[in-house]
Amino acid sequence: MLTRRRFSIGAVLALLSRPAKAAEWIAFDTLYKSFGVRGFEFSDRIVALKGQEVTLTGYMAPPLRAESTFFVLTREPLAICPFCQSDADWPVDIVVIHLKAETPLVSAGAKIAVSGRLEVGSSTDPDSGFVSQIRIVDASYRRV
Amino acid sequence: MKTWTALGVCLLGLVATGAQAQTIYPLTRAEILAGSKFDFKVEFPGAPAQGAVKITINGQDPASVLGQSAKFVEKEDGGDHSAYWIRGAQIAKPGAYTVEASLGDKKATVQWEVFGTPERKAKNVVLFIGDGLSVAHRTAARMLSKGITEGRYNGELAMDDMPHMALVSTSGTDAIVTDSANAMSAYTTGHKSCVNALGVYCAKNKSTLDHPKVETIGELAKRRNGGMAVGVVTNSEIEDATPAGMVAHTRRRADYNDIVKMFHDVKPDVIMGGGSPNFLAKSTPGSKRTDDEDYIKKFEADGYKFVSTKQEMQAAAQAGSSKVLGLFNTSNIDGALDLKILKKGTVSKFPDQPDLVEQTKVALDVLSKNQNGFVLMVESARIDKYSHSLDSERAIYDTIMLDNAIKVAKDFAAKKEDTLIIVVGDHAHGVSIVGTYDDETPGNQLRDKLGIYADSKFPNYPAPNAEGYPEKVDVSRRLAMLFTAYPDYCETGRPYMNGENVPTVKAADGKTYVANEEYCKEPLAARRTGNLPLESNSGVHTADDLVLTAMGPGSEQFKARMENTRVFRVMATALGLGAGQ
């Protein structure tokens, strides 16, 4: 986790340099370099981009709450799961998104591009207990 | 049967007069295997004190009948009821048992039948579950894998060529249409329960793991007959409802991490399927656990050979392993059409997955080393999943794969004729073969191409390969296996060559589903207005009875129409799992 101070500096720098330095585009296909049944390996590029601004395109999963700063981004639209009431049915290569500000999550099922700071490594959300491996934080999103 | 009818009338009377009667678990008309373990629970509405209630079994104190002490919980879980519990109860003596629970002038009565088992007839049982396997799946699999000429099939499916048959009814305690959890639970425990429940009755408990438990055949086989071997083989995630039904006790089938622990508690000798992420510690990328337990390591420490490819699986069998944990995919193992013909799905990520047939062969090799016999459950899981996604061809190819696995078990059983083999679905889907789509028929709408009655000409799939699969599925005259219940979607009338059908996507409101427009662009695609509630994203299960076929010692018990719980009773009887041996 970045400290508040480093984050602020980062935010200012990002603002100043916005036209020149766009966020790096990443893709679901290249998050991991291997998907073994004994675990995944992050791709070298994802590890290298840790802490940097990235943009990822995917689908907003049905949100846990309507108004939230937290949702799950998936490679494909989540439609086929008749008992999809729990994270048990979610794909393993999900990316957890923490938005900058609470937003009504009206885009479930829609293709969106999420931009924010990349976090890599196992983390348990203190509020929901949700475990994730890759996160984009201080994020915003737009429909594509 | 007459007793039950009379009792039903009596109970109806009680319900009519009492606002909310006490509930007794197991529910009335339960058939309980003598000596099997179960939790006895009575829930009293209004949260009375212990002194206000009276409970008897055949007029006696329940604790003396059930062999365990009782516990009374006032205002259980802070709710408006009190609970009387006897966990781990057993009744050794077969017969009729009447349970009465009184609170003031309100009395509830249930009747149980405790059944014993005569001398053991079968050394082994193999239970084949085609998840969602309905009559149309069987018919279609026979047409594609055996061929049909002038109205006569050119061969028999292994599942059809069995001497005994029954109609099986699948409704649960809560609803006429059930799910794979409750349906499997009926087969593995002999008790009916409700949607989403495995190895428990659905009581008022808040924790999904606290509901009244009933013993599974996996647990019984392990502790009876000197310790039998148990195998659980599927091509779904191993934590999914059907395989979990062999070992699990939870009100909520989605408790995958708890279900992995339950597999480890019961320790089936062969465990094979997909779903590895719930075995990995949460610190491992790709894990779905919420704790730091590494269950692959735990199983290895208990003497299991862990395998993750077909080659490793076959090597483990050749090396004489007696316990095998095989996890071949992070999700479900790819179905037969993707695995063998189209190479879609996750085949590129997991290029050496076994099919159900190879898994069954290895399971039989490993389990048959146990001189006390074995219980093996083999599930072709994706017949159901592909029927949910309205993907007829994938469901049919996985029915052919199931049949190939059954052939392996029949060959095994033929050596000694001491193995009971059962083939059945767990619930039905609304599927029916309406005719054939013919590209040569003139017309510019999909419905113009659908041949019905005299126009439902025989399909032109190529002759099946050695494994019974036609190697070309997108032929010009193909089966129209249609679905009776569906959400809004676009029907293409063709096989899905690029991967499993995804008929719907979530609507902007986040609750309802709309047609996946990707398919609406295809030539001749027909937009279907769904007949299901708008919240449905796929096809649904139906309450139709299932066809069960069976062979081997004890299979003669299958006849006429039976409740699904009777499948457990036939297996337990054939294996002599009752008390008093």
Provide the CATH number for the domain formed by B126-431+542-575 in this structure: 3.40.720.10
Are residues B478 and B459 in contact, defined by beta-carbon separation less than 8 angstroms?
yes
pLDDT at A83 over 50: no
**Residues B289, A131: C-beta atoms closer than 8 Å:** yes
Chain B residue whose CA is closest to A124: B290
Determine the pLDDT at residue A92. Answer: 76
**Residues B506, A79: C-beta atoms closer than 8 Å:** yes
Give me the half-sphere count of Cα atoms (radius 13 Å) on the Cβ side of residue B480: 22
Give me the half-sphere count of Cα atoms (radius 13 Å) on the Cβ side of residue B148: 15
CA distance A39 to chain B (A): 5
Are residues A40 and B286 in contact, defined by beta-carbon separation less than 8 angstroms?
yes
B389 CA to centre of own chain:
18
Are residues B214 and B191 in contact, defined by beta-carbon separation less than 8 angstroms?
yes
Please give the Cα distance from B383 to B137 (Å, whole number): 8
- Count of pairs with CB atoms under 8 A, one residue in A, one in B: 114
Determine the pLDDT at residue B489. Answer: 97
Residues of B marked active site are found at: 180
Confidence of residue A93 (pLDDT cuts 50, 70, 90): confident
Are residues B548 and B422 in contact, defined by beta-carbon separation less than 8 angstroms?
yes
Asked whether the bond before B26 is cis by omega within 30 degrees of 0, the reply is yes
Kindly tell me the burial class for residue B385, based on how many C-beta atoms sit within 10 Å of its own C-beta (0-12, 13-18, 19 or more).
buried
Q: Which residues pair with B272 in a beta bridge?
A: B233, B326
CA distance B346 to chain A (A): 10
Kindly tell me the burial class for residue B283, based on how many C-beta atoms sit within 10 Å of its own C-beta (0-12, 13-18, 19 or more).
middle
Determine the pLDDT at residue A89. Answer: 60
Is B179 labeled as ligand-binding? no
Determine the pLDDT at residue A144. Answer: 86
Fold category of B2-8+17-115 in CATH = Immunoglobulin-like (2.60.40)
Chain A residue whose CA is closest to B255: A88
Chain A residue whose CA is closest to B326: A37
Give the three-state DSSP class for B539. Answer: coil
Please give the Cα distance from B515 to B517 (Å, whole number): 6
- Give whole-number Cα distances, B576 to B89, B117, B122, B145, in Å: 20, 5, 8, 37
**Residues B331, A92: C-beta atoms closer than 8 Å:** yes
Dihedral angle sign, alpha carbons of residues B462, B468, B474, B480: positive
Determine the pLDDT at residue A109. Answer: 66
Are residues B394 and B496 in contact, defined by beta-carbon separation less than 8 angstroms?
yes
- Ranges of each domain in chain B: 2-8+17-115, 126-431+542-575, 486-538
Kindly tell me the burial class for residue B47, based on how many C-beta atoms sit within 10 Å of its own C-beta (0-12, 13-18, 19 or more).
middle
CATH pick for A22-143 out of 2.130.10.10, 2.40.50.870, 1.20.58.220, 3.20.20.70: 2.40.50.870
Are residues B114 and B32 in contact, defined by beta-carbon separation less than 8 angstroms?
yes
Chain B residue whose CA is closest to A35: B349
Are residues B431 and B484 in contact, defined by beta-carbon separation less than 8 angstroms?
yes
Answer with the residue of higher pLDDT: A91 or B353. B353
Q: Taking a contact as any Cβ pair under 8 Å apart, which residues of chain A between 41 and 70 contact chain B?
A: 41-42, 62-63, 66
Q: Which residues pair with A113 in a beta bridge?
A: A57, A142
Q: Taking a contact as any Cβ pair under 8 Å apart, which residues of chain B between 472 and 511 contact chain A?
A: 500, 502-508, 510
Please give the Cα distance from B328 to B273 (Å, whole number): 6
Determine the pLDDT at residue A104. Answer: 72
Are residues B93 and B114 in contact, defined by beta-carbon separation less than 8 angstroms?
yes
Taking the alpha carbons at both ends of chain B, their separation in whole angstroms is 28
Q: Which residues pair with B250 in a beta bridge?
A: B198
Instruction: Look up residue B400 and give its two tokens.
Output: 């052919």
Determine the pLDDT at residue B286. Answer: 86
| Type and span of the H or E element at B567 | helix B565-575
Task: Name the pairing type of β-strands B561-563 and B164-169.
Answer: parallel
**Residues B286, A79: C-beta atoms closer than 8 Å:** no
Please give the Cα distance from B275 to A88 (Å, whole number): 10
**List of chain B residues with pLDDT < 50:** 1-18, 581
Nearest to A37 among B179, B255, B327 (CB): B327
Spell out the SS3 assignment of B432-463. Answer: EEEEEEECCCCCCCHHHHEECHHHCCCCCCCC
Q: What is the dihedral of CA A113, A119, A123, A128, to 10 degrees?
A: -40
The residues near B507 (Cβ < 8 Å, ≥ 6 apart) are A109, B513, B514, B534
Is B211 labeled as ligand-binding? no
**Residues A63, B510: C-beta atoms closer than 8 Å:** yes
Please give the Cα distance from B384 to B237 (Å, whole number): 13
Determine the pLDDT at residue B109. Answer: 98
